[in-house]
Structure formats: C-alpha cells, structure tokens
Chains A and B, each alone.
Chain A
C-alpha cells in the first residue's frame, strides 16, 4: 500500500495508495513502514493525499510507526493531507507530533 516515488541521501519519498485508512489495513501499513526504516535507514516523507478517512486504529499504527522511526533516528513527514484529515490532526494535536507540509516540494531542504 506504500509505493516509493523517489529517494535522496536522507529521505524516501513515498505515497500511500489508500482512500480509507482503517483497522483492516492498519497493521500492514505499520509493518510496511517499519520495513522501510529497517531497509533504507532514511526519513519517510509520505504523501497521504488520497486518504479521505482515517480511523483511530490507523492513527495508532501511524503514531506507533513514528515512535519506531524516532527510535532508529529517523522521522515520518506527512504531505498533501486532505482538509478533513488535516482538521482531524489539528483537533487531536497530531499536527504537533508530525511535521506536515502541503506537498513534497514544500518540505524544507529536500
């Protein structure tokens, strides 16, 4: 469900292909992110622009993957959030937890 778009020295630019990010795909999503950290040892800059709905199970998987990323000195950066998703992140303060940008091009130094 995560496809790599390009990479540079420190970062993987990837895209999540889900429209509905929910409990059914949360575990697999987290597993894929952890594989990316273990294989590439880079930050993951993830475009989640296709996601229209995200449930708490999937948010849990995303945050849990971030904790893993931080433990191996990497990060997850999110880009292209739809308005509903960006609003939800702000409501529950996840915008203070993740670095969030409008697009890949807006991410500083990349």
Chain B
C-alpha cells in the first residue's frame, strides 16, 4: 500500500454516540472512516463506492442484524472478501461461532478500550497486507521464471532521435502496460506502447498473447517491406478478433514507425490517448489524435496513419491512461488536459527527460491509481 494512502474503514452501528467515538479514534490514527447507522445503509454504501479495507460492524441492530449483514455480503462475490470484524456487547459463544463460520475475522467486545480496538484493527490489516505481499512475491517469482518482460530494460539507439521511457507499475505489481522496441534495420524501427484493459496480474497475463501477435505482425511486415502502421494495426486487430481467448479483452495501442533516413515518424493508434507533440520553437504542446478503435473491439476498427514531423528540439510523448489518472482528497479523476498543461509547464523549465522523470513523474507516484507509462521521442 502506498505510504500516503489512508486505510479505509466502514463502521456500522446504530448507536450514534459510539459511532462518533470510534470515528474520532480511527481518524486520530489516520484511517479514512465512513460511518453508517444500519446494515442497509452499509450495503447501499458498498454498492456505490470503492470497497473499504475493512468493515467493523455491530451485531445488534434493528432490521438487519450483524449476522444477516455478514450473510448478505457472503453472497456478493465482489464484497465477500472484504475483511469483516464484529463488535458486540454480548460475549456469547454461540454467536461468536456463528460469526466465525461466516468467515468474520474477529469478535471485539464494545467495552474494550477504544485504543485497543484500533490497535487490533491495525494488526489485522497489517497481517492481511503481509499475507498479500507474500502471495505477490510468490507470483512475481513465478513470473520471473517465465523470463517474459513486458517492459524493456534499455532504451534503443535510433539514428537522429533520442528515445526514452518511464514506467511504474501500480502497487509495484506488473500490469497491462507494455512497451516494445523493434529495430528492423538501420533505417526502420518500430516503437509499440500497449495497454491491456484491466489491472495488475490479470492484465499482465494477457500481455503475453497480445505482444506475441504484435511482434509477429511487425516481423511479417518487415519481411514483406510493408511499412504501413495502419495496415499492421488492421492485421493485428483481425487476428485478435478471431482469437476466442482474447475476444473479451481489449487493448489500446500506439504504434510508431521511425524512418531514420528521412527522419519521418508514422503513427497509428487504437483507442489510445492522443499523443502530445512539444514544439520547442513555439514552446507549446499540441495533441496528435488518431482515429482507430480499441483492438479486439470490432473487425472494422477505422485504423489510419499520419506522419508527424519533429523539428530539432521537439518531443513526442505517448503514454497510457495511468499518466492522466490521479487521486486527490475528493476522489479519483482522469484529466488529460491537466497532464498536458503540466508537461508543457515542465518543458518550459527543463527539456531533458531525466529531469522530467525525477521532478515530474516520480513525484506523482503518491497519487497513482494505475500503471503509468510514457515514452518520449526527442529530435536531436
């Protein structure tokens, strides 16, 4: 869990005084609390908000009691795994067994000192996070043994251009963003930026399939001396649309072809965010939008291509949606224009990617909500 992310707790109790007391205690320990006075209200909250890290619920409540509330959650696939702790005045063994049978993590007596309750909840969350980390380490080991890298280790050397990139996986777990640099010969090089829709491991596993198709399509294109990025995207899309495993998985892609002899850049996009072209002489940034739909969506994806001319000192940025998403005190947001403006302001001060990585991208990590990847092409 990122350092600055407060733990979220849902407190459910029909005693307003007790709720207020608990809320104050948890807030003191930097929890983000949401309080509700009934199980029904809690259900309504859970259905319309992102899940809390833990639920602390009273047992004795009018209408739906704590056990029935827990039973309800157990039947909801998206809610049943939220850690659940009962609070009760009744040290009743039968009740405790009933609750623990419903996979409640613990029973806490309400006359327990409030700071002890907070400590216990902290310990429970710490144990869960540790367990999760261990599971992730195991998966990371398995993934490493496959020797599959969706993000290159080094940047390519392309005559006339400086290529650089920055990538940060959400919560340090490999996700659906991928980059590929394919040097065809001294003249042509492809740059690929893809984003499998979804997050973390589930998206990462599908990058295998997509990258294999894309690499094959680029290799075949090179053999056939077919240097049309739009045609390549059409072919990749056709293959994906026919693949029954990938049929419900969608992919955004930016495909760039650099011709080092003519200094031409050809671009085609599929459901990707518009690229940003920084024009050094004018000190301004402009959007470069494509027309193509997400790969795998329809057989007719309207893929076209365009040439982008970079003058000396210009930069072309292409990036995934994690770069424009962020969380602040009011919640999560997507703001493309804000990102473009921030980038332009930064470029007015320092036009080196190393400094941008350090002073701009790395500093946004405490607001990160998705994988973040950005590639820069600089005309040297």
Contacts and interface: CB of A to CB of B under 8 A. Distances in A.
Interface of A: 1, 17-20, 22-25, 27-28, 50, 52-57, 59-60, 63-64, 67, 84, 87-88, 91-94, 96-97
A50 B197 CA distance: 22
Interface in B75-107: 76-78
Given A88-B334, A92-B272, A93-B294, 17 more contacts: A18-B48, A18-B49, A23-B199, A24-B51, A25-B78, A28-B77, A53-B334, A60-B249, A67-B248, A84-B335, A88-B336, A91-B274, A93-B271, A93-B292, A96-B302, A97-B297, A97-B298
Contacts of A50: 48
Contacts, number: 97
Interface in B291-343: 291-294, 297-298, 302, 321, 325, 331-336
A23 B198 contact: yes
Contacts of A91: 273-274, 289, 336
Interface residue tally on B, bucketed by range: 35 or more
A27 B202 CA distance: 13
B50 A56 contact: no
A92 B48 contact: no
Contacts of A57: 197-199, 203
B262 to A, nearest CB: 29
A92 B320 CA distance: 11
B50 A24 contact: yes
A18 B49 CA distance: 6
A81 to B, nearest CB: 12
Contacts of B293: 93, 96-97
Given A91-B336, A93-B271, A63 B78 contact: no
Contacts of B237: none
A23 B250 CA distance: 14
A63 B336 contact: no
Contact of B370 (A1, A56, A63, A92): A56
A21 to B, nearest CB: 10
A63 B176 CA distance: 17
Nearest to B271: A92
A64 to B, nearest CB: 5
Contact of A63 (B51, B297, B321, B369): B297
Nearest to B176: A56
B259 interface: no
